[in-house]
A and B are shown apart, each in its own frame.
Chain A
Amino acid sequence: MPSAVQAKPPGGQKRVALFVTCLVDLFRPSVGFAAVKLLEQAGFTVEVPEAQTCCGQPAYNSGDRADAQAIARNTIAAFEGYDYIVAPSGSCGGMLRCHYPELLAEDPQWAPRASALAARCYELTQFLVDIAQLDALDATFPSRVAYHDSCSSLREMNVKAQPRALLGKVKGVQISELAETEACCGFGGTFCVKFPDISNSMVERKTADIAASGADTVLAGDLGCLMNIAGKLKREGSNVKVRHVAEVLAGMTDDAAIGDAE
Protein backbone atom coordinates (compact mmCIF):
# COMPACT_ATOMS: atom_id res chain seq x y z
CA MET A 1 0.00 0.00 0.00
CA PRO A 2 1.20 3.50 -0.72
CA SER A 3 3.30 4.67 2.16
CA ALA A 4 3.56 8.31 1.20
CA VAL A 5 0.09 9.30 0.08
CA GLN A 6 0.18 12.98 -0.73
CA ALA A 7 -2.37 15.56 -1.68
CA LYS A 8 -3.06 16.33 -5.32
CA PRO A 9 -0.04 18.04 -6.84
CA PRO A 10 -0.45 21.75 -7.28
CA GLY A 11 -0.35 22.06 -11.07
CA GLY A 12 2.67 20.22 -12.36
CA GLN A 13 5.04 20.87 -9.50
CA LYS A 14 5.83 17.24 -8.78
CA ARG A 15 8.23 15.30 -10.95
CA VAL A 16 7.50 11.76 -11.99
CA ALA A 17 10.22 9.57 -13.41
CA LEU A 18 8.84 7.09 -15.91
CA PHE A 19 10.34 3.63 -15.66
CA VAL A 20 9.36 2.73 -19.17
CA THR A 21 10.27 -0.99 -18.82
CA CYS A 22 12.40 -2.87 -21.31
CA LEU A 23 9.49 -4.50 -23.13
CA VAL A 24 7.64 -1.21 -23.72
CA ASP A 25 10.88 0.47 -24.77
CA LEU A 26 11.67 -2.25 -27.27
CA PHE A 27 8.35 -3.56 -28.49
CA ARG A 28 5.60 -1.05 -27.88
CA PRO A 29 6.82 2.50 -27.32
CA SER A 30 3.26 3.77 -27.86
CA VAL A 31 2.46 2.48 -24.35
CA GLY A 32 5.22 4.71 -22.98
CA PHE A 33 3.76 7.74 -24.73
CA ALA A 34 0.28 6.85 -23.47
CA ALA A 35 1.67 6.71 -19.93
CA VAL A 36 3.36 10.09 -20.36
CA LYS A 37 0.12 11.61 -21.65
CA LEU A 38 -1.86 10.26 -18.68
CA LEU A 39 0.70 11.46 -16.14
CA GLU A 40 0.78 14.91 -17.74
CA GLN A 41 -3.02 15.00 -17.75
CA ALA A 42 -2.87 14.32 -14.05
CA GLY A 43 -0.69 17.38 -13.61
CA PHE A 44 2.79 15.95 -13.26
CA THR A 45 6.03 16.74 -14.99
CA VAL A 46 7.31 13.55 -16.58
CA GLU A 47 10.96 12.74 -17.07
CA VAL A 48 12.58 9.65 -18.51
CA PRO A 49 15.97 8.96 -16.90
CA GLU A 50 18.32 7.99 -19.70
CA ALA A 51 20.35 5.48 -17.71
CA GLN A 52 17.48 3.00 -17.34
CA THR A 53 17.55 -0.37 -19.11
CA CYS A 54 15.66 -3.24 -17.49
CA CYS A 55 14.61 -3.79 -13.88
CA GLY A 56 16.76 -6.94 -13.72
CA GLN A 57 14.05 -9.56 -13.33
CA PRO A 58 15.51 -11.93 -15.93
CA ALA A 59 18.66 -12.17 -13.79
CA TYR A 60 16.83 -12.15 -10.46
CA ASN A 61 14.42 -14.90 -11.46
CA SER A 62 17.17 -17.00 -13.04
CA GLY A 63 19.18 -17.11 -9.85
CA ASP A 64 21.83 -14.64 -11.03
CA ARG A 65 21.78 -12.53 -7.90
CA ALA A 66 25.01 -10.65 -8.52
CA ASP A 67 23.88 -9.26 -11.87
CA ALA A 68 20.43 -8.53 -10.49
CA GLN A 69 22.05 -6.52 -7.69
CA ALA A 70 24.26 -4.61 -10.09
CA ILE A 71 21.29 -3.72 -12.28
CA ALA A 72 19.27 -2.74 -9.21
CA ARG A 73 22.02 -0.36 -8.07
CA ASN A 74 22.17 1.28 -11.51
CA THR A 75 18.40 1.66 -11.58
CA ILE A 76 18.26 3.12 -8.09
CA ALA A 77 20.98 5.64 -8.94
CA ALA A 78 19.15 6.65 -12.11
CA PHE A 79 15.81 7.16 -10.32
CA GLU A 80 16.83 8.96 -7.15
CA GLY A 81 15.73 12.54 -6.73
CA TYR A 82 12.24 12.24 -8.20
CA ASP A 83 9.02 12.56 -6.28
CA TYR A 84 7.60 9.39 -7.77
CA ILE A 85 8.64 6.52 -9.99
CA VAL A 86 5.89 5.11 -12.17
CA ALA A 87 6.00 2.04 -14.42
CA PRO A 88 3.37 0.90 -16.92
CA SER A 89 3.84 -2.60 -15.48
CA GLY A 90 2.98 -4.32 -12.21
CA SER A 91 5.80 -6.75 -12.75
CA CYS A 92 8.62 -4.20 -13.09
CA GLY A 93 6.96 -1.96 -10.50
CA GLY A 94 6.86 -4.94 -8.15
CA MET A 95 10.53 -5.61 -8.79
CA LEU A 96 11.45 -2.06 -7.75
CA ARG A 97 9.03 -1.91 -4.87
CA CYS A 98 9.07 -5.42 -3.39
CA HIS A 99 12.29 -7.04 -4.53
CA TYR A 100 15.00 -4.35 -4.62
CA PRO A 101 14.85 -3.90 -0.84
CA GLU A 102 15.19 -7.67 -0.39
CA LEU A 103 17.95 -7.93 -2.98
CA LEU A 104 20.06 -5.23 -1.33
CA ALA A 105 19.07 -5.88 2.28
CA GLU A 106 22.58 -6.96 3.28
CA ASP A 107 24.26 -3.98 1.66
CA PRO A 108 24.44 -1.20 4.30
CA GLN A 109 25.10 1.47 1.71
CA TRP A 110 22.35 0.50 -0.72
CA ALA A 111 19.63 -0.94 1.52
CA PRO A 112 18.30 2.47 2.64
CA ARG A 113 18.45 3.79 -0.92
CA ALA A 114 16.52 0.75 -2.16
CA SER A 115 13.84 1.24 0.49
CA ALA A 116 13.55 4.95 -0.25
CA LEU A 117 13.05 4.18 -3.94
CA ALA A 118 10.58 1.38 -3.19
CA ALA A 119 8.39 3.71 -1.14
CA ARG A 120 7.98 6.08 -4.11
CA CYS A 121 7.35 3.49 -6.78
CA TYR A 122 3.93 2.74 -8.32
CA GLU A 123 2.26 0.86 -11.12
CA LEU A 124 0.69 3.31 -13.56
CA THR A 125 -3.05 2.79 -12.88
CA GLN A 126 -2.36 2.57 -9.15
CA PHE A 127 -0.57 5.91 -9.27
CA LEU A 128 -3.29 7.57 -11.33
CA VAL A 129 -6.03 6.47 -8.94
CA ASP A 130 -4.40 6.32 -5.49
CA ILE A 131 -1.95 9.20 -5.72
CA ALA A 132 -2.97 11.47 -8.58
CA GLN A 133 -6.69 10.90 -7.91
CA LEU A 134 -7.35 11.45 -11.56
CA ASP A 135 -11.09 11.73 -11.93
CA ALA A 136 -11.75 12.50 -15.56
CA LEU A 137 -10.39 10.97 -18.73
CA ASP A 138 -10.65 12.25 -22.25
CA ALA A 139 -11.06 8.92 -24.02
CA THR A 140 -13.65 6.99 -25.96
CA PHE A 141 -13.37 3.29 -26.75
CA PRO A 142 -16.63 1.65 -27.79
CA SER A 143 -15.78 -1.91 -26.96
CA ARG A 144 -16.42 -4.87 -24.71
CA VAL A 145 -13.18 -5.41 -22.84
CA ALA A 146 -11.81 -8.08 -20.56
CA TYR A 147 -9.15 -6.87 -18.12
CA HIS A 148 -6.46 -9.45 -17.39
CA ASP A 149 -4.85 -9.02 -13.98
CA SER A 150 -1.16 -9.74 -14.16
CA CYS A 151 0.03 -11.81 -11.22
CA SER A 152 2.48 -9.20 -9.99
CA SER A 153 -0.06 -6.39 -10.25
CA LEU A 154 -2.60 -8.45 -8.38
CA ARG A 155 -0.48 -10.06 -5.70
CA GLU A 156 2.63 -7.92 -5.31
CA MET A 157 1.21 -4.47 -5.99
CA ASN A 158 -2.42 -4.97 -4.85
CA VAL A 159 -3.70 -3.54 -8.10
CA LYS A 160 -7.18 -4.71 -8.98
CA ALA A 161 -9.76 -1.98 -8.54
CA GLN A 162 -7.69 0.85 -10.03
CA PRO A 163 -7.60 -0.13 -13.72
CA ARG A 164 -11.30 -1.02 -13.60
CA ALA A 165 -12.16 2.30 -11.99
CA LEU A 166 -10.26 4.14 -14.72
CA LEU A 167 -11.83 2.07 -17.49
CA GLY A 168 -15.20 3.04 -16.04
CA LYS A 169 -14.38 6.62 -17.00
CA VAL A 170 -13.72 5.80 -20.65
CA LYS A 171 -16.76 6.43 -22.81
CA GLY A 172 -18.15 3.35 -24.52
CA VAL A 173 -16.21 0.75 -22.53
CA GLN A 174 -18.10 -2.22 -21.19
CA ILE A 175 -16.19 -4.61 -18.92
CA SER A 176 -16.69 -8.39 -19.11
CA GLU A 177 -14.89 -10.07 -16.24
CA LEU A 178 -13.00 -13.27 -16.96
CA ALA A 179 -14.16 -16.31 -15.01
CA GLU A 180 -10.66 -17.01 -13.66
CA THR A 181 -9.24 -13.55 -13.05
CA GLU A 182 -6.62 -14.86 -10.62
CA ALA A 183 -5.10 -17.40 -13.00
CA CYS A 184 -1.67 -16.74 -14.48
CA CYS A 185 -1.53 -16.40 -18.29
CA GLY A 186 1.62 -18.53 -18.47
CA PHE A 187 4.11 -15.81 -19.41
CA GLY A 188 6.37 -15.71 -16.36
CA GLY A 189 9.36 -14.14 -18.14
CA THR A 190 11.87 -16.76 -19.22
CA PHE A 191 9.51 -19.46 -17.88
CA CYS A 192 7.47 -19.31 -21.10
CA VAL A 193 10.44 -20.32 -23.25
CA LYS A 194 12.03 -22.71 -20.76
CA PHE A 195 8.78 -24.67 -20.35
CA PRO A 196 6.91 -23.93 -23.58
CA ASP A 197 4.41 -26.77 -23.31
CA ILE A 198 3.34 -25.93 -19.76
CA SER A 199 3.19 -22.24 -20.60
CA ASN A 200 1.07 -23.08 -23.62
CA SER A 201 -1.34 -25.10 -21.54
CA MET A 202 -1.73 -22.07 -19.26
CA VAL A 203 -2.23 -19.53 -22.02
CA GLU A 204 -4.70 -21.82 -23.82
CA ARG A 205 -6.83 -21.75 -20.71
CA LYS A 206 -6.60 -17.97 -20.64
CA THR A 207 -7.61 -17.56 -24.29
CA ALA A 208 -10.54 -19.97 -23.75
CA ASP A 209 -11.62 -17.85 -20.80
CA ILE A 210 -11.32 -14.72 -22.95
CA ALA A 211 -13.40 -16.29 -25.71
CA ALA A 212 -16.06 -17.33 -23.20
CA SER A 213 -16.25 -13.78 -21.81
CA GLY A 214 -17.46 -12.43 -25.14
CA ALA A 215 -14.97 -9.57 -25.01
CA ASP A 216 -13.69 -8.11 -28.27
CA THR A 217 -10.60 -6.59 -26.63
CA VAL A 218 -8.27 -7.81 -23.89
CA LEU A 219 -6.45 -5.25 -21.82
CA ALA A 220 -3.79 -5.60 -19.16
CA GLY A 221 -1.18 -3.51 -17.46
CA ASP A 222 1.81 -5.69 -18.32
CA LEU A 223 3.26 -6.05 -21.79
CA GLY A 224 4.75 -9.48 -21.09
CA CYS A 225 1.33 -11.01 -20.45
CA LEU A 226 -0.10 -9.09 -23.38
CA MET A 227 2.48 -10.37 -25.87
CA ASN A 228 1.90 -13.90 -24.63
CA ILE A 229 -1.89 -13.65 -24.83
CA ALA A 230 -1.80 -11.84 -28.18
CA GLY A 231 0.65 -14.37 -29.58
CA LYS A 232 -1.67 -17.22 -28.62
CA LEU A 233 -4.86 -15.51 -29.82
CA LYS A 234 -3.24 -14.77 -33.19
CA ARG A 235 -2.00 -18.34 -33.51
CA GLU A 236 -5.55 -19.51 -32.83
CA GLY A 237 -6.86 -17.17 -35.51
CA SER A 238 -8.88 -15.12 -33.04
CA ASN A 239 -10.13 -11.63 -33.89
CA VAL A 240 -9.90 -10.42 -30.31
CA LYS A 241 -7.69 -7.32 -30.07
CA VAL A 242 -5.00 -7.00 -27.43
CA ARG A 243 -3.83 -3.68 -25.99
CA HIS A 244 -2.12 -2.21 -22.97
CA VAL A 245 -4.69 -0.53 -20.74
CA ALA A 246 -2.76 2.78 -20.92
CA GLU A 247 -3.45 3.07 -24.64
CA VAL A 248 -7.19 2.96 -24.03
CA LEU A 249 -7.09 5.28 -21.01
CA ALA A 250 -5.05 7.84 -22.96
CA GLY A 251 -7.30 7.58 -26.00
CA MET A 252 -4.32 6.46 -28.11
CA THR A 253 -5.67 3.47 -29.98
CA ASP A 254 -4.76 4.42 -33.54
CA ASP A 255 -1.75 2.10 -33.66
CA ALA A 256 -2.37 -1.51 -34.67
CA ALA A 257 -3.22 -3.71 -31.67
CA ILE A 258 -0.50 -6.06 -30.35
CA GLY A 259 0.38 -8.70 -32.93
CA ASP A 260 -1.98 -7.25 -35.54
CA ALA A 261 -1.00 -6.27 -39.06
CA GLU A 262 -0.66 -2.55 -39.71
Chain B
Amino acid sequence: MGSEAASEPLLRLRGVTKLYEAGAGRVVGLSDVDLEIGAGEFVAVMGPSGSGKSTLMNILGCLDVPTSGTYEIKGKSVAGLSPDRLSELRNREIGFVFQVFHLLPRHTALRNVELPLIYAGVPREERARRALEELRAVGLEDRKEHLTNELSGGQKQRVAIARALVNKPSLLLADEPTGNLDTRSGDELMEILAGLNASGVTVVLVTHDPAIARRAHRTVYIVDGKLVSVERFREIRG
Protein backbone atom coordinates (compact mmCIF):
# COMPACT_ATOMS: atom_id res chain seq x y z
CA MET B 1 0.00 0.00 0.00
CA GLY B 2 1.28 3.50 0.81
CA SER B 3 -0.14 4.75 -2.47
CA GLU B 4 -0.64 8.28 -1.05
CA ALA B 5 3.10 8.76 -0.46
CA ALA B 6 3.85 12.21 -1.83
CA SER B 7 7.15 13.73 -2.86
CA GLU B 8 7.21 15.80 0.33
CA PRO B 9 6.57 13.63 3.44
CA LEU B 10 4.38 14.99 6.24
CA LEU B 11 6.89 14.07 8.94
CA ARG B 12 10.60 13.61 8.51
CA LEU B 13 13.15 12.59 11.17
CA ARG B 14 16.84 12.90 10.28
CA GLY B 15 19.46 11.35 12.54
CA VAL B 16 17.28 11.85 15.59
CA THR B 17 18.93 10.87 18.86
CA LYS B 18 17.39 11.26 22.27
CA LEU B 19 19.52 10.86 25.36
CA TYR B 20 18.10 10.93 28.87
CA GLU B 21 20.14 12.12 31.82
CA ALA B 22 19.00 9.62 34.39
CA GLY B 23 20.26 9.28 37.94
CA ALA B 24 22.37 6.24 37.04
CA GLY B 25 23.83 7.91 33.97
CA ARG B 26 22.95 8.43 30.32
CA VAL B 27 20.15 6.37 28.84
CA VAL B 28 19.64 6.11 25.11
CA GLY B 29 16.01 6.68 24.20
CA LEU B 30 16.47 6.93 20.45
CA SER B 31 19.63 6.51 18.43
CA ASP B 32 20.17 8.02 14.96
CA VAL B 33 16.63 7.48 13.72
CA ASP B 34 15.75 8.34 10.10
CA LEU B 35 12.04 8.10 9.38
CA GLU B 36 9.62 9.60 6.89
CA ILE B 37 5.87 9.39 7.18
CA GLY B 38 3.70 10.62 4.34
CA ALA B 39 0.42 12.46 4.68
CA GLY B 40 -2.47 10.00 4.99
CA GLU B 41 -0.26 7.06 5.95
CA PHE B 42 -1.20 4.55 8.64
CA VAL B 43 2.00 3.46 10.38
CA ALA B 44 2.37 0.92 13.15
CA VAL B 45 5.34 1.03 15.52
CA MET B 46 6.46 -2.19 17.16
CA GLY B 47 9.27 -2.96 19.51
CA PRO B 48 10.06 -4.54 22.85
CA SER B 49 9.44 -2.72 26.09
CA GLY B 50 11.90 0.07 26.71
CA SER B 51 12.97 0.18 23.08
CA GLY B 52 12.03 3.82 22.62
CA LYS B 53 8.52 3.72 21.14
CA SER B 54 7.07 6.29 23.54
CA THR B 55 10.17 8.43 23.13
CA LEU B 56 9.59 8.44 19.37
CA MET B 57 5.92 9.31 19.80
CA ASN B 58 6.72 12.22 22.15
CA ILE B 59 9.08 13.68 19.58
CA LEU B 60 6.59 13.17 16.75
CA GLY B 61 3.93 14.83 18.93
CA CYS B 62 6.10 17.91 19.58
CA LEU B 63 6.07 17.22 23.32
CA ASP B 64 9.77 16.59 23.50
CA VAL B 65 12.74 17.72 21.45
CA PRO B 66 15.58 15.54 20.08
CA THR B 67 19.01 15.78 21.68
CA SER B 68 20.43 15.87 18.15
CA GLY B 69 19.11 15.51 14.63
CA THR B 70 16.19 17.30 13.00
CA TYR B 71 12.46 16.86 12.96
CA GLU B 72 10.45 18.50 10.19
CA ILE B 73 6.73 18.78 9.74
CA LYS B 74 5.71 19.61 6.17
CA GLY B 75 9.32 20.49 5.51
CA LYS B 76 9.57 22.93 8.40
CA SER B 77 11.87 22.22 11.32
CA VAL B 78 10.11 22.36 14.68
CA ALA B 79 13.36 23.17 16.51
CA GLY B 80 12.89 26.87 15.91
CA LEU B 81 9.33 27.06 17.23
CA SER B 82 8.54 28.73 20.55
CA PRO B 83 6.74 26.76 23.30
CA ASP B 84 3.52 28.64 22.52
CA ARG B 85 3.75 27.87 18.78
CA LEU B 86 4.31 24.21 19.67
CA SER B 87 1.23 24.31 21.92
CA GLU B 88 -0.83 25.68 19.07
CA LEU B 89 0.55 23.04 16.73
CA ARG B 90 -0.38 20.26 19.19
CA ASN B 91 -3.78 21.80 19.66
CA ARG B 92 -4.71 22.16 15.98
CA GLU B 93 -2.84 19.44 14.15
CA ILE B 94 -2.03 16.62 16.53
CA GLY B 95 -4.21 14.26 18.56
CA PHE B 96 -2.30 12.30 21.20
CA VAL B 97 -3.45 9.15 23.01
CA PHE B 98 -1.04 8.52 25.84
CA GLN B 99 0.01 5.11 27.04
CA VAL B 100 -1.04 6.11 30.57
CA PHE B 101 -4.11 8.12 29.42
CA HIS B 102 -3.18 11.36 31.21
CA LEU B 103 -6.75 12.42 31.95
CA LEU B 104 -7.48 15.22 34.42
CA PRO B 105 -8.49 13.53 37.67
CA ARG B 106 -11.63 14.71 39.45
CA HIS B 107 -12.91 16.24 36.20
CA THR B 108 -15.81 14.67 34.29
CA ALA B 109 -15.26 12.65 31.14
CA LEU B 110 -16.98 15.39 29.14
CA ARG B 111 -14.72 18.07 30.60
CA ASN B 112 -11.65 16.05 29.66
CA VAL B 113 -12.79 15.66 26.11
CA GLU B 114 -13.58 19.38 25.95
CA LEU B 115 -10.08 20.35 27.03
CA PRO B 116 -8.41 20.83 23.61
CA LEU B 117 -11.43 22.86 22.46
CA ILE B 118 -11.07 25.19 25.45
CA TYR B 119 -7.56 26.05 24.35
CA ALA B 120 -8.69 26.33 20.75
CA GLY B 121 -11.06 29.07 21.89
CA VAL B 122 -14.22 27.23 20.83
CA PRO B 123 -17.37 28.75 22.39
CA ARG B 124 -18.90 26.88 25.30
CA GLU B 125 -22.02 25.39 23.63
CA GLU B 126 -20.21 24.19 20.57
CA ARG B 127 -17.51 22.76 22.80
CA ALA B 128 -19.96 20.69 24.80
CA ARG B 129 -21.75 19.54 21.67
CA ARG B 130 -18.60 18.41 19.90
CA ALA B 131 -17.20 16.73 23.00
CA LEU B 132 -20.45 14.82 23.48
CA GLU B 133 -20.38 13.73 19.84
CA GLU B 134 -16.89 12.38 20.30
CA LEU B 135 -17.84 10.55 23.49
CA ARG B 136 -20.76 8.98 21.62
CA ALA B 137 -18.39 7.80 18.93
CA VAL B 138 -16.39 5.83 21.51
CA GLY B 139 -19.58 4.57 23.17
CA LEU B 140 -19.29 6.54 26.42
CA GLU B 141 -22.15 8.99 26.08
CA ASP B 142 -23.79 7.64 29.23
CA ARG B 143 -20.59 8.24 31.22
CA LYS B 144 -20.19 11.90 30.33
CA GLU B 145 -20.81 13.19 33.85
CA HIS B 146 -18.64 10.55 35.50
CA LEU B 147 -15.36 11.64 37.00
CA THR B 148 -12.42 10.08 35.22
CA ASN B 149 -11.19 8.40 38.39
CA GLU B 150 -14.52 6.53 38.47
CA LEU B 151 -13.90 4.93 35.07
CA SER B 152 -12.36 1.57 34.20
CA GLY B 153 -9.02 1.35 32.40
CA GLY B 154 -10.70 0.66 29.06
CA GLN B 155 -13.17 3.50 29.57
CA LYS B 156 -10.35 5.88 30.42
CA GLN B 157 -8.57 4.87 27.26
CA ARG B 158 -11.67 5.60 25.20
CA VAL B 159 -12.06 9.01 26.84
CA ALA B 160 -8.42 9.68 25.96
CA ILE B 161 -9.16 8.72 22.34
CA ALA B 162 -12.22 10.97 22.24
CA ARG B 163 -10.07 13.82 23.54
CA ALA B 164 -7.41 13.18 20.90
CA LEU B 165 -10.00 13.28 18.13
CA VAL B 166 -12.22 16.13 19.29
CA ASN B 167 -10.31 18.92 17.56
CA LYS B 168 -10.14 17.03 14.24
CA PRO B 169 -6.36 16.61 14.09
CA SER B 170 -4.55 15.84 10.84
CA LEU B 171 -2.10 13.62 12.72
CA LEU B 172 -3.15 11.05 15.30
CA LEU B 173 -0.50 9.55 17.56
CA ALA B 174 -1.69 6.62 19.65
CA ASP B 175 0.61 4.94 22.15
CA GLU B 176 -0.83 1.44 22.65
CA PRO B 177 -4.46 2.53 22.52
CA THR B 178 -5.71 -1.08 22.46
CA GLY B 179 -3.56 -2.18 25.39
CA ASN B 180 -6.37 -1.99 27.92
CA LEU B 181 -9.19 -3.09 25.67
CA ASP B 182 -10.69 -6.52 25.13
CA THR B 183 -10.54 -7.98 21.62
CA ARG B 184 -13.95 -6.69 20.63
CA SER B 185 -13.38 -3.16 21.90
CA GLY B 186 -9.94 -3.28 20.32
CA ASP B 187 -11.48 -4.22 16.99
CA GLU B 188 -14.02 -1.43 17.33
CA LEU B 189 -11.24 1.05 18.03
CA MET B 190 -9.29 -0.17 15.01
CA GLU B 191 -12.42 0.41 12.93
CA ILE B 192 -12.55 3.99 14.18
CA LEU B 193 -8.86 4.54 13.41
CA ALA B 194 -9.15 2.94 9.97
CA GLY B 195 -12.16 5.13 9.17
CA LEU B 196 -10.26 8.18 10.36
CA ASN B 197 -7.30 7.26 8.22
CA ALA B 198 -9.61 6.74 5.24
CA SER B 199 -10.83 10.31 5.73
CA GLY B 200 -7.25 11.54 5.35
CA VAL B 201 -5.87 11.62 8.90
CA THR B 202 -2.31 10.39 9.26
CA VAL B 203 -2.15 7.74 12.00
CA VAL B 204 0.86 6.49 13.91
CA LEU B 205 0.09 3.66 16.31
CA VAL B 206 2.26 1.84 18.84
CA THR B 207 1.26 -1.76 19.45
CA HIS B 208 2.57 -5.09 20.66
CA ASP B 209 -0.09 -7.02 18.72
CA PRO B 210 1.01 -8.17 15.25
CA ALA B 211 -2.66 -8.64 14.28
CA ILE B 212 -3.26 -4.96 14.86
CA ALA B 213 -0.02 -3.96 13.16
CA ARG B 214 -1.16 -5.86 10.09
CA ARG B 215 -4.00 -3.39 9.60
CA ALA B 216 -1.52 -0.54 9.08
CA HIS B 217 -0.02 0.41 5.72
CA ARG B 218 3.40 -0.24 7.07
CA THR B 219 5.14 -1.21 10.27
CA VAL B 220 8.39 0.18 11.63
CA TYR B 221 10.39 -1.88 14.10
CA ILE B 222 12.44 -0.38 16.85
CA VAL B 223 14.97 -2.09 19.08
CA ASP B 224 17.21 -0.35 21.62
CA GLY B 225 16.37 3.03 20.16
CA LYS B 226 17.26 2.04 16.61
CA LEU B 227 14.99 1.36 13.63
CA VAL B 228 15.54 -2.17 12.36
CA SER B 229 14.26 -4.33 9.49
CA VAL B 230 11.46 -6.83 10.04
CA GLU B 231 13.94 -9.72 9.60
CA ARG B 232 16.26 -8.32 12.27
CA PHE B 233 13.26 -7.73 14.51
CA ARG B 234 12.06 -11.36 14.15
CA GLU B 235 15.60 -12.52 14.82
CA ILE B 236 15.78 -10.61 18.10
CA ARG B 237 12.33 -11.64 19.10
CA GLY B 238 13.28 -15.27 18.49
Chain B associates with chain A? no
